[in-house]
Amino acid sequence: MARLLYKLGSTAFRRWYYFLAAWIAVFAAVATVAVAFSKPMSDEFTIPGIPSEEAADLQQELFPEAGDAFDDATVNVVVAAPEGHTLDEPAYTAAIEDLIEAIPELPQMNEDPAANPGLVDPNVAAANAPPAFSPLSEDGRIGILSFEWDVETPADLEVTSIEELEQLLDDTTDETGLVAEANGPGMAAMTPPGGTAELIGIGIALVVLLLTFGSAIAAGMPIITALFGVALGMLGITGMTAFMDIGSSTPMLATMIGLAVGIDYTLFILARYRTELHHTDDRAHAAGIAVGTAGSAVVFAGLTVLIALSALAVVRIPFLTAMGLAAAATVLIAVLVALTLLPALLGLLKSWTFRGRVRRYTPARDEHGRVHNNGVRWARLLGKAPLAFVALVIVGLGVLAVPIKDMYLAFPTDSTAPADTTQRQASDLMSEAFGPGREGPLLVVVDGRDIASDEERQQAFDDVTAWAAGQDDVQDATLVATNAPLGEDGAPTGVGTGAMIQVTPASGPDEPETLDLLDALRDGQSGIEEQTGTTTGVTGLTAITTDVSDRLNGALPLYLAVVIGLAFVLLVLVFRSILVPLTATLGFLLSVLATLGATVAIFQEGAFGIFEGQPIVSFMPIFLIGMVFGLAMDYQVFLVTRMREAHVHGLTTREAVVDGFRNSARVVTAAATIMIAVFAGFMLEDDAVVKSMGFALAASIIFDAFIVRMVLIPSVLYLLGEKAWWMPKWLDRILPNVDVEGESLERDSAPVSVARKDDDKELVGV
């Protein structure tokens, strides 16, 4: 592999114009597809085969006009009079009428009053509504107006539409004293990538790169190539919407990953290129060596990330598969950019690459002329008491993992939104007025097609309603519709063959009591079906998200087995060792457990008051495990391949560990710092999912790169000694030699080869 990549790198350097033209052509082609064929993104957290999906399919059979719960763009405007007042007072009725007149004039609204029958004064609507569906609280102080945006799905909503609604509500409150807040699925517009988070991450990355290379031009190259790769990846994701459903959170997560690995992969190859320029005047040869050695590590590091992300398809969860494949695509682009576009840019710039000097790097050297830096000092410190460091890491990360025992997984709802948002305030008002279950009703679908007469079907529908109402934690169960055909006067002509029963829990949608109610309804389905001769199913948004959470948890063991198994085989190929991949995997388990524990403590338990406590989003553990594993193996490959390279060239394991830190610790530290900055920047996003993922990924890099890879792994290698590289002879014979270390490359084969004494002479084009 090293020879193949050497040829690729040196050719890209010499024929840089062909490679640049090819990348520009690819970018233009992908952009054309994205513009011409893209479709709106969706937020369907659905899984074929789960009970709620089967019930939803039954609902579609019986009620073809019923819409998908995830396509609902309804907004609930909750209005509340001050304490001691009611909404039927003239000042407040006038304010409500003004709202009713102003809302249809908002962007993305249908101005036809018939399109939004719920946009009615709660005082008027409550007169004819059943108690369970009344839009007015019993004391007359809190009411609900409802409307639906004129869009196909919430993914089509524009942020400006919601901002104008929020401004309208604020004006109403300021002018009249009437509290007006809004929630519901129609308040979930997603801010597109490209804001503060990325700018902060890029800014910190630029500072780190300036310190690493001491050159403004060199510092800018990893950022430029990473941004190019991310832009291409985003266009590709947009284009893929023409062929598959992609969630609105997918671009943000793909941006997060693509930006981080894009900078890191380019950084490693560029740093190796600078090192090789200390040994040769032939820049094309140096570029080939850099791509052949560091590029080999990039390929295998990228492969581990691709395995971890692509393996999400194994769990057969469509929205998670789309997220994983989209992120994997951005990683693949980052690898290809680092291997081809970077050397092409080096060929374009030539001696200008390391100009724009802002600082000069003049490392100290020992008596043998070898660099004596902080990496060497740290490695030797670990070597003095490796067992103590191993114990310290295991105990420390173990303590951080303790909060996992209390982890509660659920999908975010308005009731778990930050307290200062209009969604959360509207949710609190609704809970106060109508009970917390009003926002998360369950829907029981009843199929009575096997029952012959109208009378028997009606009795069966009533019996199912009474059965549902008799469950624990039920506030109300009401037969809300049948599929009987309507007469000319709009009234049903008969009973119909199907019915929908809305069950309102006494608890909120994210509370354990509601989940217990869902289980009770399903456990009793067979009994009520036998009693009434019907077929039933339980669906609704709460039921669907609960089933998705259950499937995610059940898929975790399979996912872990596939990812760890495939990556273990890959690492055995890279390191030609059994124990090194084994320790790498065990170190990953420690870092991911500590990450999950810290995330639970900070986000769920609200430790230190940084974030308000809320459930952990259900797909966080499985997605985090994939991401952390892939990124953890990145640093394992980059750091330990340099150790193995030194060992292959005759150094003992102890000397090889020191040499690996001498050559890689500085760059790995810079890469990890950049990745932490990129991920941490996403904590500033408004979306709770992206915020928690940004924190978790940043924490995982801290734990894995700085604690596991730079403390635990070298300490374990010290303890293992030469046994670290042991592999059965029979296995060694059958495994292909992928030569990640570039042992097959003759570095002195350049036309002009000199040993540099001045580290900076050739870097400034002299």
Predicted confidence (pLDDT) per residue in 274-315, tens digit: 888 888 889 999 999 999 888 888 888 888 888 888 888 887
- By DSSP bridging, strand 179-183 and strand 409-410 are unpaired
**144: enclosing H helix or E strand:** strand 142-148
Sheet holding 142-148: strands in order across? 142-148, 74-80, 179-183
Structure tokens at 248: 């609105």
Shortest CA distance to 714 belongs to which of 755, 766, 751, 662? 662
Helix then strand then coil, % of the chain, to nearest 5: 65, 10, 25
Query: Given a cut of 50, is residue 452 above it in pLDDT?
Result: yes
- Spatial distance between the Cα atoms of 688 and 413, rounded to a whole number of angstroms: 10
Structure tokens at 419: 């307290």
Q: Tell me, what DSSP letter sits at residue 161?
A: H
Measured at the CA of 330, the angle between CA 325 and CA 331, to 5 degrees, comes to 95
- pLDDT, residue 198, reads 67
- Spatial distance between the Cα atoms of 289 and 8, rounded to a whole number of angstroms: 10
- pLDDT, residue 761, reads 41
Give me the amino acid identity at 602. I
- pLDDT, residue 449, reads 93
Query: Given a cut of 60, is residue 373 above it in pLDDT?
Result: yes
Contact 503, 472 (CB under 8 A): no
Q: What is the pLDDT of residues 267-284, one digit of tens each?
A: 989 988 988 888 888 999
């991911």: which residue's tokens? 592
Q: Please compute Rg for the chain using Cα positions.
A: 31
582-588: Cβ within 8 A, 24+ apart: 583/712, 583/713, 583/716, 583/717, 584/632, 584/633, 584/636, 584/640, 584/713, 587/632, 587/636, 587/704, 587/708, 587/709, 587/712, 587/713, 588/628, 588/629, 588/632, 588/633, 588/704, 588/708
- Spatial distance between the Cα atoms of 52 and 688, rounded to a whole number of angstroms: 25
Query: Given a cut of 60, is residue 750 above it in pLDDT?
Result: no
Give me the amino acid identity at 373. N
- pLDDT, residue 763, reads 43
- pLDDT, residue 765, reads 36
Q: Hey, do 73-187 and 442-539 end up sharing a CATH topology, with the first three levels equal?
A: yes
- pLDDT, residue 8, reads 94
- pLDDT, residue 749, reads 40
701/370: higher pLDDT: 701
Q: Tell me, what DSSP letter sits at residue 490?
A: S
Shortest CA distance to 100 belongs to which of 113, 86, 88? 113
């804001």: which residue's tokens? 195
Cross-strand pairs, 145: 77
- pLDDT, residue 688, reads 72
- pLDDT, residue 752, reads 35
Query: Given a cut of 60, is residue 193 above it in pLDDT?
Result: no
**181: enclosing H helix or E strand:** strand 179-183
Query: Given a cut of 70, is residue 760 above it in pLDDT?
Result: no
- Spatial distance between the Cα atoms of 600 and 699, rounded to a whole number of angstroms: 12
Query: Given a cut of 50, is residue 748 above it in pLDDT?
Result: no
pLDDT band at 131 (very low <50, low <70, confident <90, very high): confident
Query: Given a cut of 90, is residue 140 above it in pLDDT?
Result: yes
Counting residues of the chain whose pLDDT is more than 90, the rounded percentage is 41
**75: enclosing H helix or E strand:** strand 74-80
- pLDDT, residue 367, reads 66
Query: Given a cut of 90, is residue 706 above it in pLDDT?
Result: yes
- pLDDT, residue 51, reads 92
Contact 235, 27 (CB under 8 A): yes
- Spatial distance between the Cα atoms of 221 and 224, rounded to a whole number of angstroms: 5
- Spatial distance between the Cα atoms of 247 and 258, rounded to a whole number of angstroms: 17
Q: What is the pLDDT of residues 725-741, one digit of tens each?
A: 888 888 888 888 776 65
Mean pLDDT of the chain: 85
Q: What is the pLDDT of residues 94-108, one digit of tens each?
A: 999 999 999 999 999
Q: What is the pLDDT of residues 204-214, one digit of tens each?
A: 888 988 888 88
Highest mean pLDDT among 121-125, 380-384, 634-638: 380-384
- pLDDT, residue 192, reads 53
- Spatial distance between the Cα atoms of 97 and 100, rounded to a whole number of angstroms: 5
Lowest mean pLDDT among 45-54, 156-165, 508-517: 45-54
Q: Which whole number is the average pLDDT over 245-263?
A: 80
- pLDDT, residue 341, reads 96
Query: Given a cut of 80, is residue 14 above it in pLDDT?
Result: yes
- pLDDT, residue 191, reads 56
Query: Given a cut of 60, is residue 203 above it in pLDDT?
Result: yes
- pLDDT, residue 204, reads 86
For CA atoms 161, 167, 170, 174, the dihedral sign is negative
- CATH node for 442-539: 3.30.70.1320
- Spatial distance between the Cα atoms of 223 and 209, rounded to a whole number of angstroms: 9
CA-to-CA separations, 417 to 342, 435, 542, in angstroms, rounded = 43, 17, 16
Q: Which whole number is the average pLDDT over 644-651?
A: 82
For residue 359, give the 3-state DSSP assignment. coil
Q: What is the pLDDT of residues 603-623, one digit of tens each?
A: 888 888 877 778 888 888 887
- pLDDT, residue 745, reads 67
50/633: higher pLDDT: 50
Q: Which whole number is the average pLDDT over 475-502?
A: 84
- CATH node for 73-187: 3.30.70
Q: What ranges do the domains of the chain cover?
A: 2-35+192-361+386-412+546-740, 73-187, 442-539
